[in-house]
Amino acid sequence: MRLYHAHQNTDIQLHEQLDYARVLYNKGLYQQSLKMLEKVKASAQQASYPHIELMAIDFEKHIESQYITRSLEGRAEELSEQAATTLSHLARLHNASSLALQLYGLYIKVGHVRSPEDSAEMTSYFRQQLPLLDLRRASFSEKLSYYQAHVWYHYILQDFKACYRYAQKWVDLFEEEPHMKEQQPMLYIKGLHNLLLALFSLLYYSKFMEALKKLEDFAADSNRRSNPNIEMLLFLYIYTNRINAFYMRGRFTEGLKIVPEIRRNLRVFEQQLDPHRQLIFYYKIAGLYFGSGDYNSSILYLEKIIHYKDVNLREDIQCFARILNLLAHYEAGKDELLEYQIKSVFHFLGKMNDQQPMQVAIFQFLRDMPDISPFDLKSAFISLKEKLLLISENPLYKRPFLYLDIIAWLDSKIRNVPVQQVMQEKFLQLK
């Protein structure tokens, strides 16, 4: 398998060349070993693998320090300078990449910030951890890690304009150095996905479709690199964003046509897909069924999330799955289960410490629903809508509306029309 994948992975090839340099050294062919190490350094620099470059430099220092090549004059300073430069580069790179990874981990755990205190704490943490970087002199890897950290930071803060700006820089970095798409394809498609997430949050449909086409074109390129991991990520990102495109246009019924293909691929990539990504798919499929009016099917997918044993995974998805489940039970006419569902969800959110104004308003409305006469129901929907519109004006409370367009649902109840009709009208107004 190593031999099969070697031609597709530059880092495997470089490690192999380091091994060849070691063999040459053991044979006493010191000059040939040093020439091989120079090639490794040049290739590692071009492919942005500074850790491999440092390994080559260390081996060069080891050979030269034995005075066996009689070429030490000037080389000591040169190698020391190369090592210091590479180490400095690696330190900046690791600081930025570690920060990006930590921010991503926080997002997986809790999602977006929930309060002004959360926002201030996140900003303080980010500024303390962010390494100083001169972008004019920075390497490809340094810029990439720097942009990644900013994308996650702004995404967690729900500053989607800034998130879009840095995600575009991320993608542009690969467009400026096309050979890096071949070297690091997973980071390229990840950048496109984050760009799509930002555009979806901004409801910027035309740019969204441009980015989606770029991702689909990359997937369709017969000359690109391919392995199970890349194919899994392409499936994940393409189908997640195809669903988002249906959401933006309000074409929920049309979107259901791709559900069988998604389910088939979920089985194919079962070993590679982590639980977090599966939950996202279940939630989005449940949203398609809810928007198309098939509430029983929506409940089936939401229960896959609700009954998932690790409730600490994506707490926000767990919370909003339960809210959507309440609405689906209400729409399906399962009134006998509604009271139990309300108590169960309220208990869950209390335990998660994640009760926000939108959630509280919906709970109060659904709890009071049995006491509202049919003649007063429309007024109650209007009152809830007005309350939620006020809540949505606060940037920190917009998070729930990213997962569930409750305003569109209320409009559909007030006007007595399907929710996807409301969403389609809303989309036409945005164009």
User: How many alpha carbons fall within 13 Å on the CB side of residue 99?
Assistant: 28
Whole-angstrom distance, CA of residue 264 vs CA of residue 227: 19
pLDDT > 70 fraction of the chain, expressed in percent and rounded: 90
- pLDDT at residue 118, rounded to an integer: 81
Which residue type, as a one-letter code, is found at position 95? N
The band of 166, judged by pLDDT with boundaries at 50, 70 and 90, is very high
The band of 363, judged by pLDDT with boundaries at 50, 70 and 90, is confident
Whole-angstrom distance, CA of residue 243 vs CA of residue 293: 16
Beta strands in 194-291 (DSSP E): none
Cβ count near 274 (within 10 Å):
9
Whole-angstrom distance, CA of residue 349 vs CA of residue 322: 9
Q: Which of 49-53, 78-82, 249-253, 369-373 has the highest mean pLDDT?
A: 249-253
Whole-angstrom distance, CA of residue 56 vs CA of residue 61: 9
Whole-angstrom distance, CA of residue 47 vs CA of residue 50: 9
- pLDDT at residue 167, rounded to an integer: 97
Length of the chain: 431
- pLDDT at residue 292, rounded to an integer: 94
- pLDDT at residue 209, rounded to an integer: 96
Across the chain, mean pLDDT equals 85
225 against 155, higher pLDDT: 155
Long-range contacts of 358-363 (CB under 8 A, 24+ apart): 358/388, 358/391, 358/392, 358/397, 358/400, 358/401, 358/406, 359/319, 359/323, 359/400, 361/387, 361/388, 361/391, 362/323, 362/326, 362/406
- For 371, residues 6+ apart whose C-beta sits below 8 A from its C-beta are none
Q: What is the mean pLDDT of residues 64-86?
A: 69
pLDDT > 90 fraction of the chain, expressed in percent and rounded: 34
The band of 1, judged by pLDDT with boundaries at 50, 70 and 90, is low
pTM for the predicted model, two decimal places: 0.79
Cβ count near 7 (within 10 Å):
10
Kind and range of the H or E run holding 58 = helix 50-64
Instruction: Indicate whether 196 pLDDT > 60.
Output: yes
Of 306-310, 343-347, 357-361, the one with minimum mean pLDDT is 343-347
Cα angle 345, 320, 216; round to 5: 155
Of 92-101, 135-144, 156-165, 377-386, the one with minimum mean pLDDT is 92-101
Instruction: Indicate whether 102 pLDDT > 90.
Output: no
Cα angle 410, 416, 418; round to 5: 80
Sign of CA dihedral 360, 356, 314, 190: positive
Please report, in angstroms and rounded to a whole number, the separation of the first and last CA atoms in the chain.
50
- pLDDT at residue 5, rounded to an integer: 57
CA nearest 230: which of 170, 276, 282, 181?
A: 181
> What would the pLDDT profile of 242-297 be if each residue is shown by its tens digit?
999 999 999 999 999 999 999 999 999 988 888 888 888 999 999 999 999 999 99
- pLDDT at residue 431, rounded to an integer: 62
- pLDDT at residue 402, rounded to an integer: 67
> What would the pLDDT profile of 146-157 be if each residue is shown by its tens digit?
999 999 999 988
205 against 5, higher pLDDT: 205
Whole-angstrom distance, CA of residue 89 vs CA of residue 95: 10
